Every structure is written in structure tokens, then in C-alpha cells.
Chains A and B, each alone.
Chain A
């Protein structure tokens, strides 16, 4: 086994960075967190992820692993202990499918709401967000059978893939006035969100909603162009 030297390049506000942090916490792996300064990219980051130049990057014995869900799978395979992915191939594939769905469809729809150029596009994006949450509520119901997490009694892959977005989801709710996690629509998810956020492996790395709101407002002020119609 390579050196036990484990480093994670990331930033406090990034939901993607949360994912490997939760995974490392679940495995009880000690690591050095290298926080990137907002607005600039370190030499180490550029060297470790020359293709995308993005965080998170896991450095294990000096070898870089990129892309948050790929890092989570790597962590699950490289260290024993808490199993993040299910042991059965079919359930593993289902978990991976939802990881793709969350990243390729659901999260872009969420960020697409504020970026939507027309009211029609905005409405569509909002609908997609709610549709996705409804699907995930069904997944939780089916796999759960009364269990608190997608992974059953403990946090698993889907919990990590979805849960890392809770900070920004809550910030978006505050900024837009829209409630996405609605007890009348997705009661199981509402309950799940609370339990996930309170989990030992999560609470220390979940950014505070108010800090995210502040950050979002700062970003908006920095990047906003004069209004055009």
C-alpha cells in the first residue's frame, strides 16, 4: 500500500469538496486539508489536475485523484471499514446511476434556476428540480423501508452525492423564497436532510447556510453585469 500521506485540495463552500471529506471521515482516515484561496488556483492544484484545474483533488501518497464521485469510490476501495457503496453489484450500479443523475441533471437544473434567461426556462428548471426530488423521495422510500438514509442505517453513496448539496439548497431557498425540501411533497427527504446534516461525519464539513448566502451575494455583486433587457 502506498504511503499513508493523504491530502485533499478544496474549499469550504464547495459541495463537491464535501463529498470526499465525508467519505474520509466515514473511513476514519486522517488527512491534511489544503484550502484554495478564492479567486486563484495554487500551483499544486494546477499540477495535480491539469485537465480541469478544479477542486476537489485527493492526493494519496502523492498520486492525484480527481472528480468528486470518482474520489469517493476510490476512498471506498482504498480503505476498509465503513462501506460507502453497497456490496451487491445491482445496488452499486443503481447508486452510481443516481450519482450521475444528481450531477448531470438535477444539480444543473438547480443552478440553472438563477441563470435562466427567460421565465419559461426558469419554470422548466424549477420543475426539473422538484421532479428530481420526487424521484429521490421514491428511491429513499423503496431502499429505506423505514431506514434513515439511502444507504440504510448508515450513510452511503447516494446520501453523500445528494447531501453535499444541502447547504446550497438551503441558501437558494433563503435567496429565492422558494421551498425545495417541502414536507408536504417529500417528507422522507426532509427528515433525511436533518439526519444527514447532523451526522458525525458531515456536520463538521457542512458549510453554514448564512455564510453561503453571504458568499452568493458577494459573487453576484462581483460578477453582475449592468441589467439588459
Chain B
């Protein structure tokens, strides 16, 4: 096809499309962002991802890709010059991919109950989240970022945590990550949020909080109805 350029289908609030945006920006790649309404997905999105019908979807010169972690690796390989996202060494790569899998498999599930619960359930959820996140600290030992001196693949994959966990803490009125409980992660939260490309890419705080305040209330009133 004659289609040229880079298109990214995502949403302003999605931490998954944010991963891809961070990768593209680190590489200095120009792209067109297609902000989807997930309740009313565009024909274009469904055409490019008929399999899972989800965002993010990257379309590079007409060729589509889905699955955010896969797309981030692709961005690193398709634009091999410039910023290095993946580690070079095969063992280091395997470690990064392993922790990325752990984040997708366990961390999201561990934090979500903190977002939705109240009362005693909430206290339990906080403790369980802390236990899960503790394992991840192993990947930060002796390093400023998961990627070393600068952010890399695993920082990008874990990138939802610093701003979404802090937001969840504020909305739920709890502390999950602090210098006492998870010192390495706590320090990494601050360092990650201080990175220029992250600062310029995060969704607007007021909009994000308002959206999540409303969503949380809806989920909790739904729970009470049971």
C-alpha cells in the first residue's frame, strides 16, 4: 500500500498507549495519535486489529501491530539508531522481559483492588499489593532506573505505576509505596516522574483524577448493589 508514516491508536488516559508514546518520543519518531472512544471504537481501529480489537495499535507504513509490550520492542528494532530501549545482552533482555511479564501478570491485578476497595477490604488489598510490588524491587537493586542510568524497556512497561499508584493512593486515602515499605520503588517513582519525556507525556492530572474519581465511584456503587 502507499500508506506512509506512523499512526498510533490509543486513548488519552491509557497507560498502555502511553508506553508506545514514550518509546516513539525517545526515538524521536513523529506520529499521528488517534484518540479512540473505547465505547465507540473507530472502523479504522477494528480494521487494523480485528483479533483483540484493543488499543494500542501502531500502524507503521500501513502495517499494524498490537500488544503494547510487543510494540515497544518493535519501536526499538525498527528505529535501531538513536536511543536504546532494550538491553543489549541476551540475559539482560530475558530479565527485562521476565519482569515485564510479571508486571502485566501480577502487578496490575494487585493494584486494582486498592483502586476499587473500601474499609477492611482496602487494608487487605494494600498489604497484598505491597507484597507483590516487593518482588519487583529485585530488578531495581543497585540501579537508578530499571534500565540502569537511563530509562529503558522495563521502566516504560512499569511506567503506569508512578502516576497511577500515586493517584490511587490519593483517591483511596492510603499509602502503598513509600520510603518505609518499598524504598527502591519509591525512589524510582520520583526519578521516573522527573524524566523530561515522561513529564511531557503524562495525561493532564486534573482530567485524569476527575475521570478516575467518577469511575471509582461507579465501580464502588456497583459493588454495594450486590
A63 to chain B, nearest CB (A): 6
Query: What separation, in Å, do the CA atoms of A67 and B99 have in the docked complex?
Result: 10
Decide if B74 touches A92 in the complex (CB within 8 Å).
yes
A190 to chain B, nearest CB (A): 21
Task: From the candidates A74, A89, A90, A135, name the one contacting B51 in the complex (CB within 8 A).
Answer: A135
A130 to chain B, nearest CB (A): 14
Closest to A76 in B: B90
Contact flags B49-71 to A (C-beta < 8 A → 1, else 0): 00110000000100101110111
Across-interface contacts of B179 in A (CB, < 8 A): none
Decide if B93 touches A92 in the complex (CB within 8 Å).
no
Q: Which residues of chain B (68-98) have a CB below 8 Å from chain A?
A: 69-71, 73-74, 77-78, 90-91, 93-94, 97-98
Q: Which residues of chain B (90-126) have a CB below 8 Å from chain A?
A: 90-91, 93-94, 97-98, 101-102
Decide if A101 touches B52 in the complex (CB within 8 Å).
yes
Across-interface contacts of A51 in B (CB, < 8 A): 102, 135
Q: Does A155 contact B (CB under 8 A)?
A: no
Query: What separation, in Å, do the CA atoms of A105 and B94 have in the docked complex?
Result: 22
- Given A90-B74, A92-B74, A97:B94 Cβ within 8 A: no
The number of residue pairs between A and B whose CB atoms lie closer than 8 Å in the complex comes to 58
Decide if A74 touches B90 in the complex (CB within 8 Å).
yes
Decide if B91 touches A90 in the complex (CB within 8 Å).
no
Query: What separation, in Å, do the CA atoms of A121 and B180 have in the docked complex?
Result: 45
Q: Is the interface of B mostly helix, strand, loop or mixed?
A: helix
Q: Which residues of chain B (16-72) have a CB below 8 Å from chain A?
A: 51-52, 60, 63, 65-67, 69-71
A78 to chain B, nearest CB (A): 5
Q: Does A218 contact B (CB under 8 A)?
A: no
Across-interface contacts of A97 in B (CB, < 8 A): 65-67, 70
Q: Is the interface of A mostly helix, strand, loop or mixed?
A: helix
Q: Does A71 contact B (CB under 8 A)?
A: yes
Closest to B77 in A: A89
Across-interface contacts of B98 in A (CB, < 8 A): 65-67, 70
Across-interface contacts of A178 in B (CB, < 8 A): none
Across-interface contacts of B91 in A (CB, < 8 A): 60, 63, 65, 74, 78
Q: Does A77 contact B (CB under 8 A)?
A: yes
- Given A51-B102, A90-B60, A100-B67, A70:B94 Cβ within 8 A: yes
Decide if B51 touches A101 in the complex (CB within 8 Å).
yes
Query: What separation, in Å, do the CA atoms of A67 and B69 have in the docked complex?
Result: 15
Query: What separation, in Å, do the CA atoms of A60 and B95 have in the docked complex?
Result: 13
27 interchain pairs (CB within 8 A)? A51-B102, A51-B135, A60-B91, A65-B94, A65-B98, A70-B97, A70-B98, A71-B94, A73-B93, A73-B97, A74-B91, A74-B93, A77-B90, A89-B74, A89-B77, A89-B78, A90-B63, A90-B74, A90-B78, A92-B74, A93-B70, A93-B71, A93-B73, A96-B70, A97-B67, A100-B69, A101-B51
17 A-B pairs besides A51-B102, A78-B90, A92-B74 with CB distance below 8 A are: A67-B97, A70-B101, A71-B94, A77-B90, A77-B93, A78-B91, A89-B78, A90-B74, A92-B77, A94-B65, A96-B70, A97-B67, A97-B70, A100-B69, A100-B70, A101-B52, A135-B51
